[in-house]
Structure 1
Amino acid sequence: MPRLKRVLVVTASVSAVLAVLLGSGALWLYTSADVSTTGDRFSRELAIPPLAKPTVEADGTKVFDLTMQSGQKEFTAGKKTRTWGFNGDHLGPTLRAQRGDKVKVRIRNTLGEASTVHWHGMHLPAKMDGGPHQMVASGATWSPRWTVDQPAASLWYHPHPHGRTEKHVQRGLAGMFLLDDDASNRLALPREYGINDLPVMVQDVTFDGAELDFDRGFLRDTGFLGERTMVNGTLNPYRTVSDELVRLRLLNASTARIYDFGFSDDRSFTMVATDGGLLEKPLRQDRVKLSPGERAEIVVRMKPGERTELRSFPHGGYGSAWEKRLAGGDDSLSVLQLRAANTLRPSPALPSELATLEVPDGSDSVRERYFGLTTPGINGREMKMDRVDLTVTRGTAETWVVRNEHGTPHNFHVHDVQFRVLEVNGKEPPPQLRGAKDTVYVAPNTTVKLAMRFDGPADPNSPYMYHCHLLYHEDLGMMGQFVVVEKGQKAGTVGARDAHAGH
């Protein structure tokens, strides 16, 4: 079984960190590691989450059913791990809808505690967002509904209970939500789900012997860091493909680890989409860095009979060497092996133009706001369920300046909207950040400038969230909330009384 090399550190230089972690008994620190040299690599066929089949109401609404449930799964033969999942023992089905569709999701919670289901990256009314104000009590149901009104994109869904999100996601409550639109349907892109269009949900995990351990983690100032990766709940995964071009919808579904994806033979690939949808033009890359919650769609070319390995490589974007080790930036991780069949189906050339971005460029922003990221708060304040931090006017655009004010890695996610990254440290952002985004990595002592528009609907009493998506930081209170109002309207009253309501 592949494991990262670890060293136990007990010195005066880390006494401050140890003081925070006394409850765990010891602090484990990763050294640089290569977990690719083991005989059981790529021994299991990659699981593909099933496409959920909706029913259709009289008015055309597509109705999906999700049940949050506990179960057991054998990640390794003969060893069962207690897990959570949607409609099964671990993870959830892939939901799919078209722009303009009316959708409804009937959610039933059969867990022993309350949770939520948040539609990460989705533009929808705040009451349907699935944040910490839309808790679904144990034994209760909740049925949000909305009309899909945004471009084709790879989104996902996961819990968002205040103070417990990391554990709920770790245990397996996550799934993808794919959106299509007429423009993307006309493009010559691989689109056969599970054949040449593959969901790739990457999570890092830790084992206790041969059993998965969701309760043991390391380096609690960044959150949980696992010893190895799994994809779609599959350890040591491979996938046999039969097309020349294969589309990988990459999702960093880990709670803290930052990945720098590339291929073991250093082949280049074509990046076609970011969090919120297609880029304007295809982008040739050999690496793509994703922090927790970020997505990217890439297309890789295969030759008959060959094999290549998707990996996460050591990467930068940290402060000191100490901080790099804190987030696993020294690690080299096996992710997924692609195996090409001996005969491949020809694929058409990728289009030279993809989409027109629907995110603002900052020219019509009505105001600029500053967000300083310092664990455990934003602008020096921890999240409070009964406090509205920001009020924004429906139909207006704003520029948000986000700065990581110290050495710990962070990122920044905004509910409901997609934004454009205008600048990174005062300079034009790298090409892979020039699409529609809802989550962005903010390296230590780095400033990003974001432009976004708030199209509503207005609801002064129901907030959206913004927060660090390293989920341990979110759970500590590195989060704020905002409401969208009509011009001249004031924020209403929100409160913790909503946090455990049954639906």
Structure 2
Amino acid sequence: MARFKRILVVLGATLTVLALAVGALFTWLWTDADVSTVGDARFDRELAIPPLAPSRVAEDGTRVFDLRMQAGETEFEPGRKTPTWGFNGSYLGPTLRAERGEKVRVRIHNTLDEASGVHWHGMHLPARMDGGPHQPIPAGGRWSPQWTVDQPAATLWYHPHPHGATEQHVRRGLAGLFLLDDDRTARLPLPKRYGVDDLPVIVQDVRFDGARLDGDRGLMQSVGFLGDRTMVNGTLRPYRQVGDELIRLRLLNASTARTYSFGFPDDRAFSLLATDGGLLERPVPLERVQLSPGERAEIVVRMRAGERVMLRSFPQDNYGGAWQRRFSGGDDSFDVLELRAARHLRPSAGLPQSLGVLETPDGSDAVRGRYFDLKRSGINGRSMDMGRVDETVTRGTTEVWTVRNSNGMPHNFHVHDVQFRVLEVDGEAPPPALRGPKDTVFVPHGTVMKLALRFTGPADPGTPYMYHCHLLYHEDEGMMGQFVVVEKGGAATGGGHIPAGPRHAHRH
């Protein structure tokens, strides 16, 4: 009996030690999980501005761009060379620019040692030109998609979309802006001098392991890779000298998993001009704008002569419970970009009260609805299958898609080819920041959204577009589906595996 009591005492002591150890480990993980760079460093690197890509106009009037996907080395810090990928350089790519109504062709040469691709995120174009996983460009291969720009002025972007490897390719540096212009926007008195009072702001979170870009996920990071610092346009600790009263920032969240809430430390109001697909109906005053991976926003901030003001990302409380906020980045905060105003600023014209009329549908003529349940295991319970068409839509029709996230973690939802209108968020009218044209939207845990989409073609029953979570780790895991656009009464064709890259790419 005495021996049995001693065993119980030893066992109890052992369990107590284990419980204390587990508790200590959890406490360490919890306290070490949130990240803040606020006030940590002097912003001493001048912000790089991606160059405008040169182009030429062919005899048939097509504007032609050239992009070269290549490996290289980038000195994010002087004297430390980091292996990276880029377009026409070692990291990121040039800014492509075209006008509504123009025909464009982009000649792409993949000089990497593996297949990749280029997706035109936010662009309305034929499915065969979309650059999704069905249009891979093999190592050493070339692809020359062409289309006519047929959508309003907007801040779009391009990035790889290889099936199962998108996160890795984007994180290594393959991304760039594609700006669209139109006559309406050209007439508006908005800041529009690229790199002067109209600044591209490509935000990424990174973590370095020595000279290498680290891509390992943390133990509890279910959303994907989360870095411990940010950079803008490939510049760490960036600042930008500005000389105008009003500065337009074209914000792109090019991170693979992190969501940001942008604003300024003094809580000054700024004007939201545009969302993913272009201008709102009128400027909206805000103090914060939240962008999940892939989302864009154009904001205008008023500067005061001689001041320095920091663009900051603030903690967010809409990630689900405390566990998800702490381990999915919701508690994190970052100093992102310092704006330094000249002592004497050029006067800027006041912003117009009206920006135009939205071209996105309002859902009143919807012919049907569809439902999308977001889970890491797949959408509507199905993981991505390249040979399966999940939805078939009729060209020229409008539909209402209901998107729901009850997965306990953040997701977002991106639809290729279309710009949609957010009709409802949890049964209520959307907040002002979601009232513009969108192609990607943040869907926090516990949220139900209704979206109105119009499919204007062209029909292609054999080549699909994608819809997916744009937290790229989730996309690569299978949170993606595909749809085809058909003429009335048509059906998806092919059966089995849908033909992919060989029609669109070739080795040289």
| Superposition TM-score, scaled by structure 2 size | 0.92
Counterpart residue number, 1:19: none
Contact 1:200 1:250 in 2 (8 A): yes
Cα 1:426–1:351 change in 2 (3 A) is: same
Residue type of the alignment partner of 2:116: S
Distance in 1 (CA, whole Å) between partners of 2:73 and 2:294 is 25
Distance in 2 (CA, whole Å) between partners of 1:309 and 1:494 is 54
Counterpart residue number, 1:157: 158
Counterpart residue number, 2:222: 221
Contact 2:112 2:140 in 1 (8 A): yes
Residue type of the alignment partner of 1:351: P
Structure 1 residue 482 displacement after superposition = 0.2
Distance in 2 (CA, whole Å) between partners of 1:464 and 1:30 is 40
**Is the counterpart of residue 32 in structure 1 residue 1 in structure 2?**
no
Superposed counterparts of 1:40-59, under 5 Å? 41-59=42-60
Residue type of the alignment partner of 2:356: A
Distance in 1 (CA, whole Å) between partners of 2:490 and 2:267 is 54
Distance in 2 (CA, whole Å) between partners of 1:414 and 1:237 is 32
Counterpart residue number, 1:443: 444
Superposed counterparts of 1:383-398, under 5 Å? 383-398=384-399
Q: Deviations over 1:101-153 (max 9, x none)?
A: 00000000000100010000000000000000000000010000000000000
Stretch of structure 1 that moved more, 320-329 or 434-443: 320-329
Distance in 2 (CA, whole Å) between partners of 1:13 and 1:130 is 48
Residue type of the alignment partner of 2:123: M
Distance in 2 (CA, whole Å) between partners of 1:81 and 1:116 is 22
Contact 2:30 2:326 in 1 (8 A): no
Residue type of the alignment partner of 1:312: S
User: What do you get for the CA RMSD once the two structures are aligned?
Assistant: 1.8
Q: Secondary structure at the match of 1:168?
A: helix
Cα 1:305–1:495 change in 2 (3 A) is: farther
Contact 1:170 1:214 in 2 (8 A): no
Structure 1 residue 493 displacement after superposition = 1.9
| Superposition TM-score, scaled by structure 1 size | 0.93
Counterpart residue number, 1:196: 197
Cα 1:195–1:494 change in 2 (3 A) is: farther
Contact 2:239 2:340 in 1 (8 A): yes
Cα 1:449–1:29 change in 2 (3 A) is: farther
Contact 2:39 2:335 in 1 (8 A): no
Distance in 1 (CA, whole Å) between partners of 2:209 and 2:29 is 16
Q: Deviations over 1:63-86 (max 9, x none)?
A: 000000000001112111100000
Counterpart residue number, 1:359: 360
Structure 1 residue 32 displacement after superposition = 3.2
Counterpart residue number, 1:253: 254
Counterpart residue number, 2:466: 465
Gaps of 5+ in 1: 1-8, 16-25
Contact 1:385 1:494 in 2 (8 A): no
Structure 1 residue 36 displacement after superposition = 2.0
**Is the counterpart of residue 488 in structure 1 residue 482 in structure 2?**
no
Q: Secondary structure at the match of 2:325?
A: helix
Structure 1 residue 13 displacement after superposition = 12
Q: Deviations over 1:138-197 (max 9, x none)?
A: 001000000000000000000000100000000000000000100000000000000000
Superposed counterparts of 1:38-437, under 5 Å? 38-39=40-41, 41-209=42-210, 211-218=211-218, 219-437=220-438
Contact 1:30 1:325 in 2 (8 A): no
Structure 1 residue 318 displacement after superposition = 1.6
Residue type of the alignment partner of 1:215: G
Distance in 2 (CA, whole Å) between partners of 1:428 and 1:460 is 35
Q: Deviations over 1:247-306 (max 9, x none)?
A: 000000000000000012211101100000000000000100000000000000111111
Structure 1 residue 27 displacement after superposition = 8.0
Q: Secondary structure at the match of 1:432?
A: helix
Stretch of structure 1 that moved more, 211-220 or 345-354: 211-220
Cα 1:403–1:78 change in 2 (3 A) is: same
Q: Secondary structure at the match of 2:445?
A: coil
Residue type of the alignment partner of 1:445: G
Distance in 2 (CA, whole Å) between partners of 1:12 and 1:369 is 45
Distance in 1 (CA, whole Å) between partners of 2:420 and 2:72 is 38
Q: Secondary structure at the match of 1:127?
A: helix
Q: Secondary structure at the match of 1:324?
A: helix
Contact 1:255 1:471 in 2 (8 A): yes
Contact 2:172 2:213 in 1 (8 A): no
Contact 2:132 2:465 in 1 (8 A): yes
Contact 1:386 1:493 in 2 (8 A): no
Residue type of the alignment partner of 1:37: G
Contact 2:383 2:478 in 1 (8 A): yes
Q: Secondary structure at the match of 1:354?
A: coil
Contact 1:65 1:107 in 2 (8 A): yes
Gaps of 5+ in 2: 1-19
Contact 1:120 1:157 in 2 (8 A): yes
Structure 1 residue 495 displacement after superposition = 5.7
Q: Secondary structure at the match of 1:322?
A: helix
Distance in 2 (CA, whole Å) between partners of 1:138 and 1:330 is 40
Cα 1:13–1:281 change in 2 (3 A) is: farther
Contact 1:92 1:174 in 2 (8 A): yes
Q: Secondary structure at the match of 1:136?
A: coil
Q: Percent identity?
A: 66
Contact 2:223 2:409 in 1 (8 A): yes
Structure 1 residue 214 displacement after superposition = 3.2
Residue type of the alignment partner of 2:77: T
How many pairs were matched up? 483
Cα 1:137–1:496 change in 2 (3 A) is: farther
Q: Deviations over 1:372-417 (max 9, x none)?
A: 0011200000000000000000000000000002211000000000
Contact 1:241 1:339 in 2 (8 A): yes
Contact 1:398 1:453 in 2 (8 A): yes
Contact 1:167 1:214 in 2 (8 A): no
Counterpart residue number, 2:10: none
Distance in 2 (CA, whole Å) between partners of 1:432 and 1:289 is 8
Cα 1:172–1:10 change in 2 (3 A) is: farther
Q: Deviations over 1:311-369 (max 9, x none)?
A: 00001112110011122110110100000011111100100000210011011000010
Distance in 1 (CA, whole Å) between partners of 2:21 and 2:152 is 51
Distance in 2 (CA, whole Å) between partners of 1:471 and 1:420 is 23
Cα 1:96–1:69 change in 2 (3 A) is: same
Contact 2:35 2:228 in 1 (8 A): no
Residue type of the alignment partner of 1:267: R
